[in-house]
Every structure is written in C-alpha cells, then in structure tokens.
Structure 1
C-alpha cells in the first residue's frame, strides 16, 4: 500500500498524503481552482413582446416571466445591457394569425418593430437576436407553411424563412435564430442575407432541437395555436449522433453558432456537439426546466438561488459557450453579489 492510503511509515502512523479536500478549504481557494466559470456575458435573455399590450402580462406557468409591451421590452433590454448580458432573444406575439404566418413578414409586425425598439435602446451594447420561425404567427401553430393535406412543407417554408431573414435584418437585428428545424434553412437564410447586403448579420442555428415534453410553458408564453406535435421535423429524443450531424450540416451551410435545445435533458448531446465543432455552442435552458425549479422552490423544497446557479453551471460544464435562460438577468445579479 502507498502512504496515501494511511499505511504506517517506520514508527509513525500517517494519514493520507493525497488530500483533494485541501483545495476546497476556503471560498477563495475554491474559486481559484474552479474548472468552470459562469459569467453574465455568456447569458442570453429570451423576451416575449405582445402586440397591443399597454402593460406587461404575467405568464402563469413561468413565474417571474412576462409578455412585454413595447415599452417594458425596451426597459428589459436596457437592463440587460446594464447587467452585461451577452444578448437578448426576441419572440413576437401578434394579435392576428393566419395559415401562412404573414405577420412575420410585415415590417410593421410586432417582432420586427420590437427588433427596432431594442436596437434603438441599446445599439450594439447587447447582441439583439430574433427568433426566425413561423410558429408564433401561424393559426395552426406549426413552424412552417402546410401542404393541402396538412403536412409541413419544408421547401415552401424555406422561401418564407429567407424573406423573414431579410425583414429582420432590415429592422436592425444583429443575429437571427432559425428554430424551425427545416432541412436547409441555414443555407437559404445565409444566402438571403448575403445577397441583400446583410453579410454581417450572424446566424445562431437551432441545430439539435428535440421534440420535448418540456416546452409546455413556452406555448403559453407565445399563445401557441399548435394542435398535435412537431415530431416530423424536430429531433427524436432517442438520438444523439443525429444531433451532431445536424450541427455539422448547419456549420457547412454558414451557421456562426450552433445550439442544442433543450439543455438539461440533453447535456450528453451538448457535450458531443462541443467536442465535434469549432464554432461557439449555445444551449437553451427552456421553459419547462425553468418552471420545474421555480415550482420546487416555491414549495420550499430547494434553495432557489443555489439551484439557479448550479443549473446554469451544469450547462456550462457540459460545453455551452452561450446559455439562453429566463434567469439571465437574475443570474447576472447573483454573480455580481
């Protein structure tokens, strides 16, 4: 046996020579040797803005999160800048929907005016990102236009996404977030941006986006009209290799950042993607993950603030360079304190 096991040496009985606990004895020492850091600049705050609102409207299944008015959105974006967040991701909720999601293409539609509001408020102090998808704008709730028999038409949807990209870029967006999981979406969006003079607008690709049971609260947040599910275009939860394949395809098509969504139930996929690519990797800490912690904390079952930081730390440790989270602003304040 080695001395580290407590074996006697001569007449002297020793304890372990190797004591990993020595590096845990004080907060300063633990900070010094920490392998993973969490910083405000790595966090992106998703924000919902609803057409016609005069005051923020609480989302019942996401305590502390609201549908914003245009005015309250500007205040939230300004706070994000003051806190040093990396970005905000904007989602628009229109008053009217139709089968084609035409509100997404209207320069005066809620998402596009919200982009303009955000950029006017903070300039480039925060990266203003926008969801590039049709689900908030369609009366059927799917992420694309439908064929006569009710299937999502991949290629027809791509043409709409291209126009959405141009409209959002014209509104001033810094980064678009195509989230619909249509095959070829990144290539079409990149081409549309480049040929329209928006070469500097970057793409955060929702590359490995899984059909998940944890999206429920988000659907309340955006007043989703979805009937059925999205399993014919979002990924199957059984598949990890496929997630890496999707990320690599998006990079080949021009994605600047690739993302795994959800985060917590797919940390293994996040790690695989991080190991496979040479671009930044994001993860979305989604609504159901948020609401589970909030519900448990409200019942006194867990320490809420500690759970927030531990959750976000786990996503960073798994390989995320960027985290989209509804706790972004609060986490930034906790990290300051």
Structure 2
C-alpha cells in the first residue's frame, strides 16, 4: 500500500520471539528478562495479521527475533506463510547457531533467503561480543546455507574491530555467493551505549559541548572512533575504497532492503552498507515491524505502536475482529512517520531494546 508520503510499504518484519541463545552486548546482554509466552503472539495470530497485511499490499515477510530458531515449529510457520495469497517471499534473520540443524526443514518449507548475523571472524572477539564460542558453528551454517541454494547475506554491525576483521568478513564473499553487509549501529536500546563519532568536526563540537574529550579519539589511520568502538559508514566507505581499489557500485537488485551494494573484482558475492545514520533512507523506507507481543511499529525511532494482539484477543465475532484489524493496520501504515531522528538522540522516544522490538 502507499503511505501518506507516497512510499510503497510492502515489507513486514515479524519478531516471533524475544528470546535468544546469544548475549550480544549491544542487543541482549545478560540480565534481560523474557516476557511470558502467554504474551507472545501464537502462530495462528501471526498468520491472521499476515493475511490482513497481504490484503493491503505486503509482499515480503521476514522472520526475526530475538533468535527465531529458538522457537519450536518455525519450518511449519514458514510453510503456512508461503501459502498466504499475496506473499511473494518469506525470509529469515538468524544468528546461525541453530541454522544448520533446521536447514533441510526450512528449505523444504519454502524459505527464500536467510540473513546470518556475524560481526567478527576472530574467535576471541566473537566470544566477547556474544558470550559463546559458536563461531565455527556459524561458519558451517553459512556454507551449508549457500550449498542449499538459499540466497545468503551476512550482517555485521559496524564495530571498530580493525581492518583485519573487515578483510576476514569480506573474504567470505570471495568463494561463496554471499553478500557481506555492514550495518551502522542504531541508537536503540543498548545501542545507545555505542555512540558513533561521525567526523572530526562533530567530535570537536561534542567535546566542547559536553567536555568529555576522553570519549573520542582519532586513530593512526585517521578514523574517528568512540571509546565504545563504533565506526560510522562515511569513514568505513573511505576505508573500504582504500582497501579494495577496484570496488564499484552494484546497482543490481539484492532484495527488499535499503543496503547500498558494491562489487569487488574476483569476488562471487557483493559488499553492502546499511547506513541508517549517515545514509538516511527514510524517504524510501518500505517496511513496518510486528513485535513478538503484537505491536505494529512503523518506525524504530519512536515509542509508538498499534496493539494488534488486543484486537485478536478481544473476543469479538470473527468478521468484526478482522474488519477492525485491517482498519488499524491500514491507518497505522498510512500514517507511518516521515523520518527517524537517530541523528538527534534527544528526540528518540523508543526505550525498548532491539530484542524486544525485533531485529
């Protein structure tokens, strides 16, 4: 459907759970409590919402979490989503720990593509970030997913882990048909503790304003970093162009998302940048999100949502319930905010973490 800004909204991201089997520091560190399962949407409730969204123009569904594969029955949900009239693609974002185990059932159910989260190829760094020693498991899952014929993308949050780590991640695309995508940290939930130092001028401005010069430094390569270890994508792109002189813009279609892609001579896969802060793409945003508790969120930045679970559990006659559900969906999507304000943290109203909203 078309929202009030003329944007075509055809992509629904569904969090099927707030639980995860990793403890990534910027997403779901130790101590986060999960909500009771009674508050989580059932698969039938998810399907009811998807049928209504498909009727008003949603064409692609992505299953997320938490970690979606910790919830039992995911292949069956994929199979049922694929049968919903109007839905053209069903994809999944996973940390990869359980992917190889479920891969035959998922591909047999019709899963179209998978995004695998992997921030580093260094075993010690992986353990420090995630709290587990699962790097080899994830690497095997990436190879198995490629061999299965699925379209595979690897998502790496742009942590300042060094040039060697960047090269190691991108090397996966040398021999495998996999897109390596660097995602700029968004200031949501625990991501607020990882501020981006975007330029030398901005560093000076922030230091003068807040008198915290120790928070920022410029490393020997001239890369502006925060003490929390995040690098912005304008800096990253310059670094990548220096590392890969033959890198060229790739304008071919890679999916429903906002990534800007580049090709590297001799590589089977591509390199992508998702720059929510320094490459703001709100004017072409095509997505909405459904949290595991049934709230439809039309922008990550704001503490606003439409409670669809309340409609589904209202006890109204089925026909009336579906009419109200579709009306609320249509109104919420039509009124989708013009843009986020991540570049102005004081205006961000969302308090929940990404594991609660859906990654």
Structure of greater relative contact order (alpha carbons < 8 Å, 6+ residues apart): 2
Higher share of residues assigned helix: 1
- Report which of the two structures shows the higher radius of gyration computed on alpha carbons: 1
Q: Which category of TM-score, normalised to the shorter sequence, fits these structures?
A: 0.3 to 0.5
- Give the structure-2-normalised TM-score: 0.41
- Give the structure-1-normalised TM-score: 0.43
